[in-house]
Structure 1
Amino acid sequence: MARFKPFAAVRPPRALAGLVSTRSYVTYSEEELAHKLGTNPYSFLHVLQRRSAHEDARFSGVRKGFEDFLADGTLVADHEPHIYLYRQQWSGHTFVGFLGLVSLEDYRAGRIIKHEHTLEAREALFARYLETVGFHAEPVLLTHPPLPELAATAAQVQTTEPLLDFATTDGAVHTLWAVPAPEPVQAALAQMGRLYIADGHHRMASSERLGEDAYVMAYLVDSSQLHIASFHRHIAGVPQGDWAASVGAKSLDHRPEGLPERGFYALDHRGWWQFDPADLAFPESTWLFDRILAPFWGVADERHDARIRYEPGVVDLATVEAERRDQETIFVLPHPHWHDIERWADQGKSVPPKSTYIEPKLRSGVTLYAWK
């Protein structure tokens, strides 16, 4: 079984939690960042957003910001280790799961299963970042089949007084509890032989590469709660031939809505297309690479091709259309399903990077795990 260990979280006090927590800084525009930094002195962005042309200086600045927040009480370390229960609610959706530490030894032994390749450059960069800052600000998202025992424990804990309970401007409500005892959670997890990484492959791989601490902070939710989308693939440049004719793509006279359940949508300078190849199989991102990206754009490795950018599949197609850059072709992949991902992972296989966009996404600065 995969171990799940309590830890003493570093977190904001109750009165400041809504002001401290933040989305990942890369999701903000320059204007939004300037506004947040200029109007909210408690935002965790003050820790994360360090301007420097040199990586080492930027990473050292993040560590100093973290230490400053500890010194002035914006962040406080719990006195005792806990497993935590975290609930996120937005737009009629509710995610409930447990926060704790998982072991890199279990990851190496195959008790924590990955399903996605990582980008090597990003993995190495994040390892250097972790070596300097000495903390995780966000957990790896792990999943498992629904377990009645875990659901019962979660329901009972939610009847007690939370540590944190706050809303954010995106309309989400975040609630955090300390689980009174770790044993019921650990006993339930002992029934399972493995856990699956839903999101956070780079965080897990970078932590293993660094090898400085034996544990990684993780958020465990059952697989029925996951919201899964694909990533839109944008590729710049002129293709060498007519990709649409090669796959029998049908021209559309209007913009489609949402992700296709099967097949692909695409957008180029000629307009929208739809195609559903007879030989299409999971993972669809591999089919797209083999049949279109490699032969028509000469892509050898998606992980290292600067012409490709990715956009989460939750971005609506009207926005995708409006933000298309010159000479860009965009491919919209079908809606993924967890049972396909799990089956693939059980076979020891990995999908290409940026094949799945999985929610919930946790905010930075709600709970941190610091080993330095």
Structure 2
Amino acid sequence: MIVRPFRGLRPKKNMIEKVAAKPYDVVTTEEARKEAERNPYTFYKVTRPEINFDREVDTHSDEVILKGKEVLEEFQKNGIMILEDKPAIYVYKEEWKGLSQIGIYATFSTKEYRDGKIKKHELTRKDKEDERARHVKLLKAHTGPVFLMYRSKPELDTLIIKHTSKIPEYDYVDETGIHHTLWVVKDENEINEIVEAFKSVDAFYIADGHHRAAAAARAAEEFAKENPNHTGNEEYNFFLAVLFPHNQLNILDYNRVVKDLNGLSEEEFLNKVSEKFDVERVEKSPYKPTKKHEFGMYLNKKWYKLTPKKGTFDENDVVSSLDVSILQENLLNPILGIENPRTDKRIDFVGGIKGIEELERLVDSGEFKVAFALYPTSIDDLLKVADEGKIMPPKSTWFEPKLKSGIIVHLI
């Protein structure tokens, strides 16, 4: 597999804490706007460029997106962000709640993505792909990294970890308690050692950022069509990502809340659920599932443990035996009438980072009628789904800690 060094555009050492920001898709425009009022150097000005305008602006217009490009150029011109003097690979460590993941910032091949060597496990929506591809084209930059993983090998893991004994370029704890450390590897021999080592790897896997990867590949094809001298080595043929070993990554639960019982009374609903699940009232509040194929359900200030009955799913099929599939196929669709969780407005999804208590809060508020707590999808199941060329149901995985934007930018 191809791991390629690049000249990263990154914040000056004393500006990293001010510039780096959460991914654009986990904050609202208003949250980004408030941060910009407090901190004029936030990277939201690039990734959420509508905050540079009045609230009435068309957030999808070229003018708005190009303002993000202008801000990025101003950051560089004013010395807030600096362009590496030569290609580098960046060793990156995130520590959070006793967990640690160490990987590399580099650029990766859009051709290998199109060829299926960079494997995915989620479907992408064309409208979101289109929007992201426009951002890449107009900014001429990859501003947010894709989250990749490889099957851990001791020799590869050790090769990366050895660079962490050096003095880091960045070393700080952000507002959410995540400890970020980054080392710049510019020595050509050290870079070549990493590049050569990863040539022995058969595949990379997308953990998070499916739309960013798809958009990068789409933008690369469009850039190539516009370039009569296209060679395949241009910057647009490679996208920004951070690559981690699979065994260091952490998936949290991804829970569901539903607004109504699809016209059923509470008693009718529980009776229907009990046809497919063993339903047990539990006193523990809140109730968090302790293993695969176990669900928590919160209804009318009571918690229940649900266990699927024999025959409700195919144990030999990796997708249908996922807990998200079991819940969807045996309860959400047939009982609550949620055929397409991607588009149905009656369902919402709550990342495990918010805690099980958030499910209680949403139901007790009256906004939602019932909540479902799931056990986290495993990394092994994700790898198996991707290797079999299959697709997980939407909102199956919530990786934490996530990757920030603005730590490193890849200019095209």
TM over 0.5: yes
Unaligned runs of 5+ in 1: none
Contact kept, 8 Å, 2:287 with 2:296, in 1: the verdict is no
Q: Which letter maps to 2:276?
A: V
Match in the other structure for 2:231: none
**1:117-136, aligned counterparts within 5 Å?**
117-136=123-142
Residue 97 of structure 2 is matched in structure 1 by: 91
Larger Rg: 2
Matches of 2:368 and 2:287, distance apart in 1:
23
The answer to whether the Cα contact below 8 Å between 2:256 and 2:347 also exists between their aligned partners in 1 is yes
Moved more, 242-251 or 288-297: 242-251
Q: What residue is the counterpart of 1:47 in the other structure?
A: 46
Task: State yes or no: 1:255 paired with 2:285.
Answer: yes
Change (3 A) 1:296 1:203: same
Amino acid in structure 2 at the alignment position of 1:199: D
With 169-178 and 189-198 compared, the bigger mean Cα shift is at 169-178
TM-score (structure 2 length as normaliser) = 0.83
Q: Alpha-carbon deviation of 1:254?
A: 3.6
Superimposed CA distance per residue, residues 72-112 of structure 1 (whole angstroms, 9 cap, x where no aligned partner): 12112112111110111232222110111111111121211
Matches within 5 A, 1:275-286: 275-277=306-308, 278=310, 279-280=312-313, 281=315, 282-286=321-325
Distance 1:108 1:182, change over 3 A: same
Between the aligned partners of 1:30 and 1:53, the Cα distance in structure 2 is 12
Which of residues 169, 189, 205 in structure 1 aligns to 2:214? 205
- Cα offsets for 1:283-334 (capped at 9, x unmatched): 2222222222222233332222232222212321112211335243222222
The 3-state SS of whatever aligns with 2:21 is: coil
Q: Which residue of 2 aligns with 1:246?
A: 275
SS of 1:364 mapped into structure 2? coil
Once the two structures are superposed, the pairs formed by residues 173-322 of structure 1 within 5 Å of their partners are 173-179=179-185, 180=187, 181-210=190-219, 211=221, 212=223, 213-241=236-264, 242=269, 243-248=272-277, 249-262=279-292, 263-269=294-300, 271-277=302-308, 278=310, 279-280=312-313, 281=315, 282-322=321-361
- Structure 1 distance, partners of 2:133, 2:345, is 22
Q: 1:25 to 1:195 in 2, by over 3 A?
A: closer
TM-score by length of 1: 0.91
The alignment's C-alpha RMSD in Å is 2.3
Q: Which is worse superposed, 273-282 or 190-199?
A: 273-282
**Any residues of structure 2 matched to 1:47-66 within 5 Å, and which?**
47-49=46-48, 50-51=50-51, 52-56=57-61, 57-66=63-72
Shift of 1:134: 2.6
Q: How many residues align?
A: 370
1:161 aligns with 2:167: yes
Q: Which runs of 5+ in 2 are unaligned?
A: 52-56, 224-235, 316-320
Once the 2 structures are TM-superposed, how far is the Cα of residue 251 of structure 1 from its aligned partner? 2.9
CA offsets per residue over residues 145-182 of structure 1, 9 Å max, x none? 22222233223212222222222222222121122332
Alignment match, 2:411? 370
Distance 1:293 1:257, change over 3 A: closer
- Cross-structure match for 2:146: 140
Compared with structure 1, are the counterparts of its residues 122 and 292 closer, same or farther at alpha carbon in structure 2 (3 Å cutoff)?
A: farther
**C-alpha separation in 2, matches of 1:82 and 1:157:** 13
Percent of pairs with identical residues = 27
Q: CA-to-partner distance for each residue in 1:186-242, whole Å, 9 max, x for gaps?
A: 222122211111111121122223334321111111111010123112222332542
Letter in 1 for 2:381: D
Residue equivalent to 2:84 = 78
Amino acid aligned to 1:292: L
Q: Distance in 2 between matches of 1:165 and 1:327?
A: 42
Distance of 1:94 and 1:163 partners within structure 2: 18
Q: Distance in 1 between matches of 2:287 and 2:239?
A: 38
Q: In 2 relative to 1, CA 26–199 (structure 1 residues): closer, same or farther, beyond 3 Å?
A: closer
